[in-house]
Amino acid sequence: MSSPSNNIAVNAPTAGRALVTPRQLTLVLVVALALAWGFLPEFTVSVLSNIGLYALVAAGLVMLTGVGGMTSFGQAAFVGMGAYATAWICTSPTAAAWLGGAVGPALLPWAVLLLALWALHNLLDSREGRAIRALKGGRLMAESMGVDTARHRIKLFVLAALLAAVSGWLYAHLQRFVNPSPFNLNIGIELLFMAVVGGAGHLWGAVLGATLITLLKEKLQDVLPALLGTSGNFEVIVFGLLMLFVLQRFADGLWPTLARLTSRWVRNDARKEIPTASKAAPAQLAQRTLPATGELLLQASDVSKRFGGLVANNAISMTLKAGEIHALIGPNGAGKSTFFNMISGVDDPTSGEVRLSGQSMTTKPSRAFAALGLGRTFQHVRLLGQRSVVENVALGAHLRAKRGWLAAMLRLDRAEEAALMAEARRQIERCGLGAHADTPAASLSLGQQRVVEIARALAGQPSVLLLDEPAAGLRHLEKRALSVLLSQLRAEGLGILVVEHDMEFVMNLADRITVLEFGTVIATGTPAEVQANPRVLEAYLGGADDELLEDAR
């Protein structure tokens, strides 16, 4: 079990001499802005409030583009909808009187922006935030973790549209009149520039981008026509060139560079701030009662898969029981990964049936497999490389928690989040990667990344574990540690199906082995039986796969 002191240790400052935390800096800037506001010239105030309005839309685009991996040129249309709806619903004099009474109305965009940034920041630092980030890694991985990707994409799109509409609503109140020119495609593209130039993956990048582009636009609108001797929207061309330049030199936008340059003064701790036990007593995550040893977990009956004329899987039947390690071996191209996809819901069999824990899984999506206790790793590692190991592993426990977007935005999910983090750390420790929990996943060796995937699968408390070449890239001692871990899991009652090329590893570990060749099962039995099988010897020594030949010796 992970102790409370574990959690606290994670929060220990690392950057030593830095003067302020980002939070303190934000607070100082906000207070300074609020104090200065009354003394600023009217023109500056109007530019500032425009920046606030743009940054609000750009923040939605950062979520959509940089975080979620989607894109939209049409955000300006949602701004327009918000503006027109406002103009239509309330007549502006009363609205202006209402707003003007309470706060300086030009300050309102910034108040709303800061509130939105706070909520979005909270959202990203949550279970649902990890699911949103997983969207960028593609459907396959996210769905295997139990994330409903279609639903999250729609919600993310609606969120970005709402932020744009709120910006339009504020705009209508501030301008007191509405015309269509600010909501055209050009503005849509400018808004995208702001998100990308600032830093598509960073919320504060939206503010930086909105500031830069707005100020630049003001300048260019004065300078360019005079320079070229004719009027027109030339600034769009300059923005295009600027974006090319920024993307060339700063692939992630300007924000990460700014953060690095200021790191001497601002503590930019990449570590995730973890809710400590004192702040929030960990909630209970959903627990699965593991099946009794020997119980049938997974059953494939005559599973076939055709790709056009190619029969990748030819009527494969096999079972996996609780408390056993079953190895699937065969030369490259034999159909092992295809079979994994069939029994994890990634792809539907052309014919045949897959049953998981007694249920027929025909046409069910992979998140339904995950919900029934199937955890898996991928032959080609699928991690969120920029995120820490602990965040990656916590994604594996997605289905064991339930707090939604709103709860996350309002920070009502802290107890559950603490439990998720504790569970993730426990699995990381168990897999021997404790020292790397807070490093970005991409900075680990490929072999270690495979182990991170195992920890991620274990965080889901699976009863069935599918491992596609888990020992590839591991060094000798790491392989031995993996062997010990898998034996331990077997003793706890998991059913493990493993594809692996390392014959020594397989023969020492597996209870049963199924051998595939050209999509067909050519042998099945104990390691000793399979090793003595003439068909297997022929398949391996027939020179189909040099690597296997080496291993078989």
Cβ pair 73, 64 in contact under 8 A? no
User: Binding of ligand ADP at residue 307 (CB under 6 A)?
Assistant: yes
Structural contact between residues 110 and 46, judged by C-beta atoms closer than 8 angstroms: no
Options 49, 65, 144, 337; binder of ligand ADP; rule CB under 6 A:
337
The answer to whether residue 338 forms part of the interface with ligand ADP (CB under 6 A) is: yes
Question: C-beta of 21: minimal distance to Mg ion in Å?
Answer: 46
335 binds, among ligand ADP, Mg ion, none (CB under 5 to 8 A by kind): ligand ADP
Out of 211, 337, 392, 514, the residue judged to bind Mg ion by CB under 5 A: 337
497 has which bridge partners?
326, 466
Q: Which of 4, 22, 225, 333 binds ligand ADP (CB under 6 A)?
A: 333
Among 251, 310, 410, 491, interactor with ligand ADP by CB under 6 A: 310
What is the Cα–Cα distance from 278 to 284, expressed in whole angstroms? 16
Q: Are strands 351-356 and 359-360 parallel, antiparallel or unpaired?
A: antiparallel
Q: CB neighbours of 59 closer than 8 A, spacing ≥ 6? A: 113, 116, 117, 120, 163, 203, 206, 207
* Residue 29 partner contact from ligand ADP, Mg ion, none using kind-dependent CB cut-offs of 5 to 8 Å: none
Say whether residue 501 binds ligand ADP (CB under 6 A).
no
**Burial annotation 267-290 (CB, 10 A radius, 16+ → b, else e):** bebeebebbbbeebebbebeeeeb
Name the residue nearer to ligand ADP (CB basis): 274 or 513. 513
- Single-letter residue type at 77: A
CB closer to ligand ADP out of 275 and 330: 330
For the CB of residue 288, give the shortest distance to Mg ion in the complex, in Å: 28
What lies within 8 Å, CB to CB, of 206 at 6+ separation is 55, 58, 59, 61, 62, 194, 195, 198
What are 181's two structure tokens?
């020119």
Does position 75 bind Mg ion by CB under 5 A?
Answer: no
From 300, 334, 452, 455, residue interacting with ligand ADP (rule: CB under 6 A): 334
Contacts of 153 (CB under 8 A, 6+ apart): 68, 70, 135
Distance CA 58, CA 75 (A): 9
Pick the piece of the chain touching ligand ADP (CB under 6 A) from 246-254, 333-341, 423-431, 471-479.
333-341
- Taking the least distance from each CB to ligand ADP, the nearer of 152 and 336 is 336
Q: Does 313 bind Mg ion (CB under 5 A)?
A: no
CA-based torsion, 390, 157, 152, 128: positive or negative: positive
Identify the burial level of 411 via C-beta atoms within 10 angstroms of its C-beta, where 0-12 means exposed, 13-18 middle and 19 or more buried: middle
User: Between β-strands 351-356 and 296-307, what pairing exists: parallel, antiparallel or unpaired?
Assistant: antiparallel
Query: Using CB distances below 5 to 8 A depending on partner kind, what does residue 366 bind out of ligand ADP, Mg ion, none?
Result: none
Q: Using the rule CB under 6 A, is 185 a contact of ligand ADP?
A: no
Q: Give dist(CA 228, CA 545) in Å, integer.
A: 67
Which of 45-53, 371-379, 389-397, 457-465 is the region at the interface with Mg ion (rule: CB under 5 A)?
371-379
Nearest approach, Cβ of residue 60 and ligand ADP (Å): 35
Decide if residue 546 touches ligand ADP (CB under 6 A): no
* Distance (Å, whole) CA 106 – CA 125: 30
Q: Are 157 and 135 in contact (CB under 8 A)?
A: no
Give 335 or 396: the residue with its C-beta nearer to ligand ADP: 335
Q: Does 138 bind ligand ADP (CB under 6 A)?
A: no
161 contacts 63 by C-beta, under 8 angstroms:
no
Is 332 a residue that touches ligand ADP (CB under 6 A)? yes
69 binds ligand ADP (CB under 6 A): no
Residues 6+ apart with CB under 8 A from 83: 168, 169, 171, 172, 178, 182, 183
Number of residues that bind Mg ion (CB under 5 A): 3
Q: Binding to Mg ion by residue 463, rule CB under 5 A?
A: no
CB 339 within 8 Å of CB 328: yes
Nearer to Mg ion, 336 or 400 (CB): 336
Give the binding range for ligand ADP (CB under 6 A) out of 40-48, 304-312, 369-377, 457-465: 304-312
Is beta strand 325-329 parallel, antiparallel or unpaired with respect to 351-356? unpaired
Tell me the C-alpha to C-alpha distance, in Å, between residue 405 and each of 124, 128, 173, 283, 355: 9, 6, 28, 18, 33
Tell me the three state secondary structure of residue 271.
Answer: coil
Q: Both tokens of residue 429?
A: 């420790």
Which DSSP string corresponds to 273-289? PPPPTTTSPPPPPP--P
Query: Given the rule CB under 5 A, which of 161-169, 322-330, 332-340, 529-537 is the region that contacts Mg ion?
Result: 332-340
- Is residue 4 within the footprint of ligand ADP (CB under 6 A)? no
Does residue 377 bind ligand ADP (CB under 6 A)? Answer: no
Shortest Cβ distance from residue 518 to ligand ADP (Å)? 9
Verify binding: residue 514, ligand ADP, rule CB under 6 A: no
Binding mask 261-280 for Mg ion (x = CB under 5 A): --------------------
Q: How far is the CB of 307 from ligand ADP (least distance, A)?
A: 3
Tell whether residue 342 is a contact of ligand ADP (CB under 6 A). Answer: no
Q: Least separation, in Å, of the C-beta of 503 and ligand ADP?
A: 15
DSSP state of 105: G
Query: Which residues from 526-545 bind ligand ADP, rule CB under 6 A?
Result: none
Nearer to ligand ADP by Cβ, of 44 and 332: the residue is 332
Alpha carbons 343 and 375: distance in angstroms, whole number: 11
Q: For Mg ion, which stretch binds (CB under 5 A), given 138-146, 331-339, 346-354, 388-396?
A: 331-339
Our finding on whether 461 is near Mg ion (CB under 5 A) is no
Contacts with ligand ADP, residue ranges (CB under 6 A): 307, 310, 312, 330, 332-338
Contacts with Mg ion, residue ranges (CB under 5 A): 336-337, 379
